[in-house]
Amino acid sequence: MENPFTIKSYESKDLFCDREEELQMMFLNCVNRTDMTLISQRRIGKTGLILRLFDELKDKRPDIVPLYFDIFASRNIDDFIKMMAEAAMKSFQTKTTLGEKLLTFIKSLRPQLTFDNITGEPQLQIAYQSTHEKEYTLRGLFDFLDSQGEHIVIAIDEFQQIRDYPEQNMEALLRTYIQRTHNLTFIFCGSKKHMMADIFANEKKPFYNSTSFVSLGKISETSYSAFIRRLFSERQRSITDEALQFILNWTGRHTYYTQQLCHTVYANGSLDITLEEVKRACEQLMKQGETVYLQYRQMLTDKQWNYLIAVAKEGSVRQITSAAFLKNHKIGTPSVSRRLADALCEKGLLHEDTTLEGITYSLNDVFLSRWMERL
């Protein structure tokens, strides 16, 4: 039987743990045409949740058309248009009237339209002349989708990427075009919290206060343990309480790492899963990561490397400038500590979490953290 612990993309409701509250909220937002912003740490389950939501819409509101695209790899407005148009072509099969119309529309843009020979998926090449023409095309795309008499939910993943575009006015443009639409509901999704907050919660920026926020935390212990137990037992396997507890504690209930650990335990094939079995899987995962971890070693200064180890040993650090932390790990002055933390956040190795008690730092990669705490 296939491994039920998904470590790639969303597969089915059955293999998706909890998120009932967030799902409900997002579902209602869709139905009520409220644009939303979905923010969380990397790999916590944003993309999965969007796809889960689309599944739910397909079931309960087949009249709503879902459209998803990920702009992580986009570099400029050209890429954005291309990705959005391709996603639209995927959502509206060319067989349908809407699909036909979309195709006609895209052809009217004077692009060179080519289809990928291998996958058969649409791959657009659009030839532009001027900036003005690009902006016109982007607006045209929104207007086109808006004028089809269908309610379309458009999810744009890794939205903060637009901040790296050379076009400085991308936010203002998008905001203007989006504001003009009536039948489109947007989900803006992103992992870079600072940037997402600056886009949507800074009163000086175009998107300020225009969306409802959904923030995604960790799955609760009750839900996750019931989920793991169920997936094992449905496949005639058992897991001891002790082993289950260890899994959730070792991964800190971080979704991706929990899935990955369970995936490995399952793949190892034991029918009765004990603590020893789980610990063996942990060792395997750290061993697998080692090549990459040692590359980080090369990439970082000694100070940065040691700082990561210090944070890993603490698990998470609430006060990076506290005397105890600085002294215990021989870090130096508070400003040194702050600089190191900033640099490591910038590199994506550290993660900062803003809570009521202040900012807490931990390693982004749970397995790296577990590996480093032993050094």
Ligand X SMILES: Nc1ncnc2c1ncn2[C@@H]1O[C@H](COP(=O)(O)OP(=O)(O)O)[C@@H](O)[C@H]1O
91 binds ligand X (CB under 6 A): no
51-61 in b/e burial notation, b at 16+ Cβ within 10 A?
bbbbbbbeeee
Pick 26 or 311: Cβ nearer Mg ion: 26
Identity of the residue numbered 341? A
213: left (phi over 0), alpha (psi -120 to 50) or beta: beta
Interaction pattern, residues 185-224, with ligand X; x per rule: CB under 6 A: ------x---------------------------------
74 binds ligand X (CB under 6 A): no
| Binding partner of residue 256 among ligand X, Mg ion, none, CB cut-off 5 to 8 Å per kind | ligand X
| Binding partner of residue 267 among Mg ion, ligand X, none, CB cut-off 5 to 8 Å per kind | none
| Residues within window 149-168 making contact with Mg ion, judged by CB under 5 A | none
Least Å from the CB of residue 366 to Mg ion: 17
Nearest CA-CA partner of 77 in 4, 163, 176: 163
Candidate residues 22, 23, 26, 43; the one interacting with ligand X per rule CB under 6 A: 43
| Residues within window 17-46 making contact with Mg ion, judged by CB under 5 A | 46
Candidate residues 29, 37, 40, 47; the one interacting with Mg ion per rule CB under 5 A: 47
Least Å from the CB of residue 11 to ligand X: 7
| Residues within window 118-137 making contact with Mg ion, judged by CB under 5 A | none
Candidate residues 4, 16, 214, 247; the one interacting with ligand X per rule CB under 6 A: 16
17 binds ligand X (CB under 6 A): yes
| Binding partner of residue 359 among Mg ion, ligand X, none, CB cut-off 5 to 8 Å per kind | none
Pick 177 or 256: Cβ nearer Mg ion: 256
48 binds ligand X (CB under 6 A): yes
Pick 47 or 264: Cβ nearer Mg ion: 47
| Binding partner of residue 6 among ligand X, Mg ion, none, CB cut-off 5 to 8 Å per kind | ligand X
Candidate residues 211, 225, 259, 264; the one interacting with ligand X per rule CB under 6 A: 259
Task: Give the chain as a 3 state SS string.
Answer: CCCCCCCCCCCCHHHCCCCHHHHHHHHHHHHCCCCEEEECCCCCCHHHHHHHHHHHHHHHCCCCEEEEEECCCCCCHHHHHHHHHHHHHHHCCCCCHHHHHHHHHHHHCCCEEEECCCCCCEEEECCCCCHHHHHHHHHHHHHHHHCCCCCEEEEEECHHHHHHCCCCCHHHHHHHHHHHCCCEEEEEEECCHHHHHHHHCCCCCCCCCCCEEEECCCCCHHHHHHHHHHHHHCCCCEECHHHHHHHHHHCCCCHHHHHHHHHHHHHCCCCEECHHHHHHHHHHHHHHHHHHHHHHHHHCCHHHHHHHHHHHHHCCECCCCCHHHHHHCCCCCHHHHHHHHHHHHHCCCEEEEEECCEEEEEECCHHHHHHHCCC
44 binds ligand X (CB under 6 A): yes
| Binding partner of residue 264 among Mg ion, ligand X, none, CB cut-off 5 to 8 Å per kind | none
Least Å from the CB of residue 256 to ligand X: 4
| Binding partner of residue 42 among Mg ion, ligand X, none, CB cut-off 5 to 8 Å per kind | ligand X
Per CB under 6 A, which region of 3-11, 89-97, 122-130, 360-368 contacts ligand X? 3-11
Question: Which chain residues interact with ligand X by CB under 6 A?
Answer: 6-10, 16-19, 40, 42-48, 191, 255-256, 259
